[in-house]
Amino acid sequence: MENKPTTRIINIILTGLFIIIAITLITITGSFYTVEQNAKKSGQEQLMQTLNYVTNNLKLVIENRSLSLQQLSHELASADQPETQLGEFDKKTLIADYLGSHEDQTNLLIQLDSLGAFAKAWQIKDGFVQELPEDRAESYLQEDPYIGSLRDNEAYIQNSSEYFLENQSFVNLYSPAVDSDGQVTGYFVSPLNLENIFKAEIFSDTSDYSGYPLVKNADMKVVIHPVESQVGLDIISDRQKQFPDLDLSDLRRLEEAQLTQEEGTLSYYSYWWDEENPTKVLKLGAFEWIDIGAAHWVIALNSDFYEHNRVPIQNNYILLSLLLLISSIILIFILLIRGYNKKNQAYEASQRLIEKQKFENERHRLEKRILKESKLEAIGLLTTTIVHDMNNFLTPILGNAQLLMEDYAENEELVSELKEIYLAAEKGKDLSTNVLRFSKVSEGQQDTVYDLSQVLKDTIAEITILTPKSIKVVSDIDSGILVEGFDKQDLQVVLYNLLTNAFQAIDTRPGNVSIRLKKADAECNADLQKRSIVTKEKEYVVLSITDDGPGIAEGLESNNLFDPFFTTKGNNGSGLGLFVVSSIADKYDWQVRLDRSQKGLTVLVNIPLQKI
């Protein structure tokens, strides 16, 4: 079938829109990639320029500290000459001037003899120089990997390589003490705190530049780092131990580049190590290897790529987002127009189905009503026949029992048994007659008040005669419960039917039936008062009959049990017991409920109390 003209136009517009969006996305993506590459290149060039400054500055600072130590060594050596011999106080003054000039970077001076053995050590504290014992200074010598070259009179070097002590990094500056004859009489060793030098002399000068410099040795251990906890750590293995869940693959690529190149730049993913849960970021890095004395270090400068290029990248993202938003709006608008007709058709079809469903539901309700009325009509006819025949059976029993009691009046034991027969037959006649009364309130009963507790006890006493010997009936009845507007005989019919169902459920095996009458608790009252405006201020009492039979089978709806002629007992049941109970309950606005949560079955009858 050929498409309608409107559909063809919409398809053409939609195809054109897709092509325009695709071309625009490709253009913006290429532009974004170009901007990102140019930003990386520019950032790396800037890092390399700053790195050259940092490297030269670090060399100059250490050389300056070395020259200061050489000057002190010369002055102290001259002070020991006979022609210029100075006192101990003057020597300490020279040492105090040296240590005090950079107390945060070096506050310890160690003197070795010509054989490299410990001679003296001084430390400045609170502005005063004090001598230190050998054990206090020895740790700085033991960790120094090049101190042996001095003791072995090997070639003199300006400073040692790095060593780590108490989570800090140091190098030792060396200066020989030479007498007037040019002979080496000893050595002066001054430990230099690299972390403090870097913060005070180098890192402070680059504080206006985002990122951070760091120094690593040939083993890729951190010598200087803005985060002090990182000093002494291997950049891969030790960090992996600290943060086993982090991805350090790019750091391995960085390490490989630094170990195989003298200098270079690159971008890589790493983390900010001063955070408790390090955040992964894209970094730009520049590095260069340098030699200072015996130290062989790689100086690196790193920065956050997006921090430098946030504005142009954000502009690209905003442009791309706006384009996608506008395209989505246009696309949705076109799709809505295209689907409008289909939705209308679907709506009309749905309305037709709804109307048809309403018609079918109404017909189903009418059929159920007709069926129920047919059952009720059958019940009426059946009840009339049963009552008539039952009265015919019971009348001669009553008459003969009365005659026998008169004839054997002198035999009290026989009269007592005949009286039981008479009362039972009379009760049966009353019960059969009451079957015709369950749908109509007797005249004058609406205003009658009964003690429900006493009526229930009397009824139980009368019905106990019919209780099978294998079944034990237990009652728990509160006293003084007053109920208005019911007929005692109706309560007997309800109780008779419920007990009969309980007895039949237990069958021939031993069992128990419990009858309880209790006032409803607050929660139950509140639930019952919600039923209608008529019941919202009433209080209730609960009559419950519980048996320990098999209960209601799974899958069987409770509502079905109240339908006339519905039975689960086959030929042994009439299907009228619960129907009669529910009919009498409806007559007095009582509520009947089945509780199948426990073993057996509990039937609850909620009866409104008399208003006080």
Nearest by Cα to 541 from 562, 524, 553, 563: 524
Give 185's contacts (C-beta < 8 A, 6+ positions apart). 77, 80, 113, 114, 177, 178, 179
Asked if 61 contacts 201 with a C-beta cutoff of 8 angstroms, the reply is yes
Q: What is the pLDDT of residue 2?
A: 42
- 580 or 252: which leads in pLDDT: 252
pLDDT, one tens digit per residue, over 364-381 is 777 776 666 666 666 666
Amino acid at 427: K
Closest CA to 95 of 75, 80, 113: 75
DSSP state of 230: G
User: Which of 482, 480, 481, 494 is closest to 449 using CA atoms?
Assistant: 482
Q: Please give the average per-residue pLDDT across 191-202, as a whole number.
A: 85
Domain residue spans of the chain? 1-308, 438-608
Cβ contact 73:176 at 8 Å? yes
Burial class (CB in 10 A: 0-12, 13-18, 19+), 468: middle
Give the model confidence (pLDDT) of 500-552 as tens digits.
888 887 877 888 888 888 888 878 877 877 776 666 778 888 888 888 877 77
SS (H, E, C) 534-593: CCCCCCEEEEEEEECCCCCCCCCCHHHHHCCCCCCCHHHCCCCHHHHHHHHHHHHCCEEE
Residue given tokens 């019941």 in the structure block? 535
How far apart are the C-alpha atoms of 456 and 465, rounded to whole Å?
Answer: 15
Tokens matching residue 446: 């609406």
**Contact by Cβ (8 Å): 191, 105:** no
Tell me whether residue 564 is exposed, middle or buried, using C-beta atoms within 10 angstroms of its C-beta: 0 to 12, 13 to 18, 19 or more.
buried
Q: Per-residue pLDDT tens for 113-150?
A: 888 788 889 888 877 888 888 888 888 888 888 887 77
Cβ-count burial 296-322 (b if 16+ within 10 Å, e if not): ebbbbbbbbbeebbeeebeebeeebee
Which range has highest mean pLDDT (278-282, 330-334, 390-394, 459-463)?
Answer: 278-282
What average pLDDT does the structure give for the chain?
A: 77
Q: What angle do CA 53, 59, 63 make, to 5 degrees?
A: 140
* pLDDT > 70? residue 88: no
Amino acid at 87: G
Unique residue bearing structure tokens 């679907």: 346
Q: What is the pLDDT of residues 459-514, one digit of tens each?
A: 787 777 667 778 888 888 888 888 877 777 777 778 888 888 888 878 778 888 88
Q: What is the pTM of this model?
A: 0.48
Q: How confident is the model at residue 291 (pLDDT cuts 50, 70, 90)?
A: very high
| Contact (Cβ atoms closer than 8 angstroms) between residue 62 and residue 164 | no
Residue 512, phi then psi, degrees to nearest 5:
-135, 140
Q: How confident is the model at residue 568 (pLDDT cuts 50, 70, 90)?
A: low
CA dihedral 82, 83, 85, 90 (to 10 degrees): -170
Neighbours of 536 (CB within 10 A): 11
**What's the alpha-carbon Rg for the chain, to the nearest Å?**
53
pLDDT at residue 379, as a whole number: 63
Instruction: Say how far apart CA 62 and CA 58 lie, in whole Å.
Output: 6
Backbone angles phi, psi at 98, to 5 degrees: -70, -50
From the options 2.60.120.260, 3.40.50.360, 3.30.450.20, 3.40.50.11310, give the CATH code of 1-308.
3.30.450.20
Q: Rounded distance, CA 59 to CA 124, Å?
A: 25
Structure tokens at 206: 């680059």
CATH number of 438-608: 3.30.565.10
Q: Of the given ranges (14-18, 78-82, 120-124, 175-179), which has the lowest mean pLDDT?
A: 78-82
CA distances from 175 to 71, 124, 150, 158, 285 (A): 9, 19, 10, 7, 36
For the chain, the maximum distance between any two Cα atoms, rounded to a whole number of angstroms, is 166
pLDDT in tens, 72-83: 888 887 766 555
State both tokens at 260. 């195989």
